[in-house]
């Protein structure tokens, strides 16, 4: 193999982007370039699962085992299912000692969802409201990439989750998929197209996450006031007007929207998301192998907010699930 004779210390970091979209995302490529200015960046677009095996194999061998530890894959694209298919092919293709570290963050969905869920947890902790155990969460537009990922994380942390869609069949299908993946019946699906249906969906919820597309208003202020009497934390990932949650500014970060209701806006989520992605890339770059997906991103996010709470003198241990400091 060509790379066998090259000393390990002279082999530079190489990050290979496998993007399922027509064009690679400059966002993630630029993030990688700024983090690792000496690294070599390779990009492939319009990647389909059937073609990915050959690309991955060609990335595994030419630099030898030592070079494989310095070669990283970043699986990207809007289609989460296609990204998941490529990840599965990567897992089946790689073998010792030719295993690459693989980052998976389809158009930022995994890091955005991790940021949203972790920011929710941070807000609960700062307000002495406990963790997610036993909490009711509604995710508006919850069948999209961010909504699905957030639903998994909330449910894995012990919350009861409602995901909504304008299409009941879609929300039901996603509900079944997530419950099967996490091996628990923690998620249900509802149709929520009209304001009245949105109101029903958030009734009894302690947390509401608006996970819709940019420029789509999902939660009117009046509906939140009337139906969200149990709500304590509202989160929006949409920074482009009209905002997903009326009255919640993108820059809001734990702002009290009304008595005992705190909001986290899209810019606060986005800033945190960028930090999570940077740490995810650094962790993958430092590791000889491994899969860095939404679970890894969320662990990074939890670690970061744990540090923030510790500095503020808050003793709550976020690694312990199931505790509810102040049950609703």
123 and 260 co-located in one domain:
yes
Residue 268 has pLDDT above 70, yes or no: yes
pLDDT at position 325: 33
Domain boundary among 54, 76, 104: 104
For the chain, helix (H) and strand (E) counts, in that order, are: 11, 12
What gap in Å lies between CA 321 and CA 328, rounded to an integer? 17
133 and 182 co-located in one domain:
yes
How many C-beta atoms lie closer than 10 Å to residue 117's C-beta?
Answer: 30
How many C-beta atoms lie closer than 10 Å to residue 36's C-beta?
Answer: 18
What pLDDT, in 10s, does the model give residues 205-264?
999 999 999 999 999 999 999 999 999 999 999 999 999 999 999 999 999 999 999 999
Domain boundary among 58, 80, 104: 104
125 and 243 co-located in one domain:
yes
Residue with tokens 């202020």: 221
201 and 96 co-located in one domain:
no
77 and 222 co-located in one domain:
no
Judge whether 139 lies within some domain. Answer: yes
Residue percentage of the chain with pLDDT more than 70: 92
Backbone angles phi, psi at 251, to 5 degrees: -85, -10
What pLDDT, in 10s, does the model give residues 87-143?
999 999 999 999 999 999 999 999 999 999 999 999 999 999 999 999 999 999 999
Q: What is the mean pLDDT of residues 51-60?
A: 97
What gap in Å lies between CA 140 and CA 265, rounded to an integer? 15
Q: What is the mean pLDDT of residues 301-317?
A: 85
Chain-centroid distance, C-alpha 226: 30
Prediction pTM value: 0.93
Model confidence at 313, pLDDT cuts 50, 70, 90, reads confident
pLDDT at position 4: 52
pLDDT at position 6: 53
62 and 208 co-located in one domain:
no
Collect all residues with Cβ–Cβ distance below 8 Å to 326 and sequence separation of at least 6.
128, 129, 130
Residue 198 has pLDDT above 50, yes or no: yes
Which CATH number do you get for residue 94? 3.40.50.10280
State both tokens at 125.
């902790």
How many C-beta atoms lie closer than 10 Å to residue 258's C-beta?
Answer: 13
Model confidence at 312, pLDDT cuts 50, 70, 90, reads confident
135 and 261 co-located in one domain:
yes
Domain enclosing residue 62, as ranges = 2-104
153 and 253 co-located in one domain:
yes
Q: What is the Cα gyration radius of the chain?
A: 21
């Amino acid at each position: 193999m060509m790379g066998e004779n090259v000393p390990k210390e002279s082999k530079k970091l190489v990050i290979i982007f496998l993007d399922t979209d027509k064009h690679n995302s400059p966002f993630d490529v630029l993030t990688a370039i700024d983090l690792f200015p000496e690294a070599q960046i390779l990009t492939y677009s319009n990647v389909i699962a059937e073609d990915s095996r050959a690309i991955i194999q060609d990335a595994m061998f030419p630099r030898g085992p030592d070079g494989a530890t310095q070669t990283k894959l970043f699986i990207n694209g809007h289609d989460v299912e296609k990204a998941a298919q490529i990840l599965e092919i990567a897992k089946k293709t790689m073998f010792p000692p030719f295993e690459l570290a693989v980052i998976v963050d389809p158009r930022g969905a995994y890091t955005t969802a991790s940021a949203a869920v972790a920011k929710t947890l941070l807000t609960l902790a700062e307000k002495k409201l406990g963790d997610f155990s036993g909490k009711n969460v509604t995710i508006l537009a919850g069948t999209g990439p961010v909504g699905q990922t957030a639903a998994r994380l909330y449910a894995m942390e012990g919350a009861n989750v409602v995901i909504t869609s304008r299409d009941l069949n879609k929300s039901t299908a996603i509900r079944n998929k997530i419950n099967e993946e996490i091996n628990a019946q923690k998620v249900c699906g509802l149709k929520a197209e009209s304001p009245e249906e949105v109101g029903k969906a958030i009734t009894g919820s302690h947390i509401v996450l608006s996970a819709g597309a940019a420029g789509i208003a999902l939660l009117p202020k009046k509906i939140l006031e009337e139906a969200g009497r149990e709500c304590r934390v509202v989160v929006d990932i949409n920074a482009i007007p009209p905002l997903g949650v009326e009255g919640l500014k993108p820059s809001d970060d734990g702002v009290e929207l009304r008595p005992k209701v705190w909001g986290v806006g899209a810019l606060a989520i986005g800033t945190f998301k960028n930090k999570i992605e940077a740490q995810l890339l650094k962790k993958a770059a430092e590791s000889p192998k491994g899969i860095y997906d939404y679970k890894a991103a969320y662990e990074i996010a939890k670690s970061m907010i744990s540090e923030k709470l510790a500095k503020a003198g808050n003793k709550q241990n976020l690694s312990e699930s199931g505790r509810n400091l102040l049950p609703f």
